[in-house]
Structure 1
């Protein structure tokens, strides 16, 4: 044995070959600080061993190395800037020393080689992968850039154009594509991986591969002519500006770094990479996106534990109520392999539900993501019916009829008479109390909310709402069914609007008050989209939701939380609803919807909306962007804080993921709790107090004052 650590070991094989094996204690290999230290120690041991003529690097696990240990990032990035720079510089130098070993090295890649794992393969002279391999640099998804030499070695290996496309998008490559682009030298079947790697290494030792020339190429300036470089980098800058926009600094930093480093050798280029990485690591955007990753891990871990505890398997689903929503839910079950009965009382609704599923599949076929067999299998998994008896064998029934408590109550009561005693029944209600609906049930313990978001096939979140009498067994089974459907479940407790809609309606109320005070809804949308980063501003979102739906839901919220959410007099939403301007569903709301000359969907500010609102609104007034953001976001943040304090949601991390997955909260802001903590809780308290005179939705709780005064973080509270 040449070296033995906790995460890796090195030993001598036959004929001067040695192997370095990554085999961490957990389920995957990661680069944590301990592993980096061990890599440095093994490099020293290999350098000093005169018997080694060539080194094979492999993983003992089903995947190579998944990247850096992100759980260490929060603590690392909280360090002063000079200490972060010192850490990343010293770590990247460990990889440099490995690259400088006095003999050829080859990486045998299986499974994922991502981030630091990809950079480990890049410091090797040769790379062979098996057909299971995926290789890439996804750091951009965390608001970061490669920090262990990726921006230096990859451009010199595959060209700056390809390398920047890899890094700025964060998409990994399957082995064959990576080989076609020059990142991998050979692809073989999994059973031949080690044998092929050894064979290539022997050839390198024998001089059949000029490994020294390959290494020199990675350490020299980029071989680009002046005009070629100018074209390459200006194209990359334009692409990043168009795709990433201004809210995501990481891809811009990558392009700038590779551009400036093009004429430098390895050491000069790495210095620029270290500095760029440090700047990003200290940015609010990286903190937010790393926070999202960790929150997502927490949500997934919680979901898996609950699903594991489920003692009932869902072999058949039933959806009550077809149409757009019911059809979307039926599609989601069917496409993931669970047969579904779609029941309605009217044939046209069933036809609409089936056509919704077919439309989604058709678009998938156009994009090459769905083949004819997949389309046929999915549609065959959906059985439309007008007959209640068809649902008798369903293990899970999802009620998705009209949003009316009386109608839902009748349907739930009828359903319970038809299905088996152990069948689980859920409601897809978006606002009606689960406890209220449970009063219609003989066995309320088998009933809960299962709130999907529209469009079902695109929105990742499903809110699972626990009623007072819902059993833990029911929750666990519905969590398992949600995961099987390819969705992210977040369990919340019952309250008006549950979690997402409860915090959305104060945001809408803030918008309505702003418009009544003279704000131009187009200007508000522009600020909330372009500056805050929402995918849609509030007026556009209300048009998508539908004015009828929004008006009805605001009445439900008003009845449920009258102390804060009483209906606003002359609410612009109600005005448009009464004028039958329902939004996208009838082509007219705040905006008029149609098609342009090329047949593409269009939306234009509606003169009719301005005329309708004129009598109830103050004279038009220009509002500062910060005031617009504050007047919409403070009510949302306040209500989310109340939800956490009341135990409606289990943790700040789950709350942030619910808004990210349910509403499209801007990822670079990390969620509503990350947003207020980035601002600073004391600053948030001061901001809310500034607008407290506008009404109860702007008034903060004693709890947030205490948190701010004591310097605590919502992310420190137990999940």
Structure 2
């Protein structure tokens, strides 16, 4: 068994337990750690020492659990995981009850199992660096903290204060954690950690955890305290409102918190282990770990980026169009320290675009998340202008004007006249094929699509679209840019609607089609919520606007006619036309499927009942939910089949980060994998017979199902 903890003693008779996994960049909580820790605590009990310092040789303090093994947990291996987890907890318990002070010295990020290890120490000291992240984010991968993290956090903070930290998986800076009382001391440098730890040990020769001290009471009150009892009475329903029953981890965390608070410490940690193993066995955690950890880390590790092209940072970016998208792109660049030229037809419009950044930054300053000096520095990076000449020196220009070919061609040629030959020109179009737009360019090999999502400051995805003549260099540099501004890139090939817009349209159209069948509008929206979508299909149609959908349809029909292709009418289109005839185009025009009162929340337009509802029409909730999920998954397979998508990884990440496909599924393609390909094909054929040919499973899907393969 690999020894991952080194045991050393210094001149002050203090034992240093050094986390140092051989031939690895990070320390992991696995069977090697469990066995090494057990061996170490046995050695401690037989030794004479003043105290213990726990520290790491890695850039991070501790990376947490071994997800590559957790994701494989099944009925057969669950007992093994339970035993390993209990072994680690038993060793932690010995460490915190052996009567000598134990100090965690944190010089790098400690998340998940790493922070749980620190919580098992009597004193925690960290370098005061905002890049260091501390916390228990297991819930974001469908798991819960299984090494005592829930039990110790609740006993340190109380039920009410611990709930948001645990159920939302917050990652905090050392300063924030100290403010909560979970971190005892901050130092300015790594060198000061040992001195601080030594001082504590020498000043506190014996130490105990708060919950082991005589007279300990749970902070904030026990479960039976009136204030806590009233909070716990509504907490499950509030949690279910957020999770919509799709995510078992938050509810399991709440159960562990409440059950664990009513029993002794050892029983509480065993309860935690049982819930932890149950989640690890489940499919939701496997879906989320596969996509939101492994596949996302592949993107960050440049797996999809062309090799043999040196990475490059951009020094100056131009943005054409200072509307909401252009202003958002300018903000995304400036907050990452990149100078931006924000151009519009008038200086006044460009200044309005800059004001968008001012408003966002003002909010951060007012919340204490940014200094006013830093805000001024960021704003100074944005240069509003109405002159194309100011684009000189830009090594990337992003066009974000209206979806009009002639206008895009005009601004492309105007900008290119000012650029060096190696500058990249990108279009932020969401639907128009890049190859066609590149015809206006003198350098189509440097022309590419960078499709941002609104609002840019919040949405993490950028869809990179390669035209037929786009060079590998332009792709590599665009990939670098997306990472430089802290976004997540996916790569797709050119087509109408690319991947995200094309698949997203199937979701909204399916919801509208159901309305046209006479189904209840509220039932349609609820089917979206209960499937895990952030917004129902009718509400999101109002955000997009039905008039834009009609324009896209018209342009698509013209394009297909020019290419000699046949346009297939979707049943949603007649409903869109009727809504437009009634001047119900969407939120921006005053109302669409919803009404938007000036005061109060939006509500479904009562006229939907009069114009579309058929009292005798109803289908099962399962059918409604699966129509929304299946139609997006099927269209994604078509994108793979047509080589619009290059990888299932980009499909999964793009669907979750860009178009709101439920994260519990692991993404559009993982949804098919976890459903089972043969079962998915069978169900798709049922939906086709019931609701239309659009649910017919693509050839690629049928072939993989017949061969017993997965995506």
User: TM-score of the superposition, structure 2-length normalised?
Assistant: 0.90
Distance 1:271 1:221 in 2: 21
State the SS of the aligned residue for 1:128. strand
Deviates more, 1:694-703 or 1:238-247: 238-247
Cα deviation digits, residues 538-595 of structure 1 (max 9, x gap): 1111110111222222344555596685454852123323444321111121112232
State the SS of the aligned residue for 2:15. strand
1:120-135 aligned within 5 A: 120-132=117-129, 134-135=133-134
Q: 1:465 to 1:238 in 2, by over 3 A?
A: same
State the SS of the aligned residue for 2:432. coil
Q: CA deviation at 1:610?
A: 5.5
Q: CA deviation at 1:687?
A: 1.4
Distance 2:133 2:188 in 1: 14
Q: 1:365 to 1:433 in 2, by over 3 A?
A: same
Q: 1:310 to 1:496 in 2, by over 3 A?
A: farther
Distance 2:233 2:574 in 1: 44
Q: CA deviation at 1:317?
A: 1.1
Q: CA deviation at 1:84?
A: 4.0
Q: CA deviation at 1:434?
A: 0.9
1:116-155 aligned within 5 A: 116-132=113-129, 134-155=133-154
Distance 1:14 1:704 in 2: 66
Aligned partner of 2:634 in structure 1 is 638
Q: How many residue pairs were aligned? A: 698
1:295-694 aligned within 5 A: 295-302=295-302, 309-310=309-310, 312-346=312-346, 349-529=349-529, 531-557=530-556, 559=559, 565-568=568-571, 571-596=574-599, 600=600, 602-608=601-607, 613-614=611-612, 621-693=617-689, 694=691
RMSD: 3.0
Q: CA deviation at 1:264?
A: 2.5
Q: Do 1:236 and 1:255's aligned partners in 2 also have CA atoms closer than 8 Å?
A: no
Distance 1:195 1:366 in 2: 37
Q: 1:162 to 1:664 in 2, by over 3 A?
A: same
1:262-301 aligned within 5 A: 262-291=261-290, 292-301=292-301
Q: CA deviation at 1:319?
A: 1.4
Q: Do 1:145 and 1:277's aligned partners in 2 also have CA atoms closer than 8 Å?
A: yes
State the SS of the aligned residue for 1:508. helix
Q: 1:123 to 1:351 in 2, by over 3 A?
A: closer
Q: CA deviation at 1:149?
A: 1.6
- Match 1:110 to one of 93, 102, 107: 107
Distance 1:35 1:391 in 2: 55
Distance 1:482 1:312 in 2: 11
Q: 1:567 to 1:73 in 2, by over 3 A?
A: same
Q: CA deviation at 1:57?
A: 1.1
Aligned partner of 2:248 in structure 1 is 249
1:156-175 aligned within 5 A: 156-175=155-174
Segments of structure 1 that go 5 or more residues without pairing to the other structure are: 715-719
Q: 1:473 to 1:233 in 2, by over 3 A?
A: farther
Distance 1:626 1:705 in 2: 23
Residue 74 of structure 2 corresponds to residue 71 of structure 1: no
Segments of structure 2 that go 5 or more residues without pairing to the other structure are: none
Q: Do 1:221 and 1:265's aligned partners in 2 also have CA atoms closer than 8 Å?
A: no
Q: Do 1:493 and 1:649's aligned partners in 2 also have CA atoms closer than 8 Å?
A: yes
Q: CA deviation at 1:68?
A: 1.6
Q: Do 1:459 and 1:662's aligned partners in 2 also have CA atoms closer than 8 Å?
A: yes
Q: 1:42 to 1:647 in 2, by over 3 A?
A: farther
Aligned partner of 1:704 in structure 2 is 701
State the SS of the aligned residue for 1:314. coil
Distance 1:350 1:578 in 2: 35
Aligned partner of 1:184 in structure 2 is 183
Aligned partner of 1:27 in structure 2 is 25
State the SS of the aligned residue for 1:211. coil
Deviates more, 1:439-448 or 1:95-104: 95-104
Q: Do 2:34 and 2:84's aligned partners in 1 also have CA atoms closer than 8 Å?
A: no
Q: CA deviation at 1:219?
A: 13
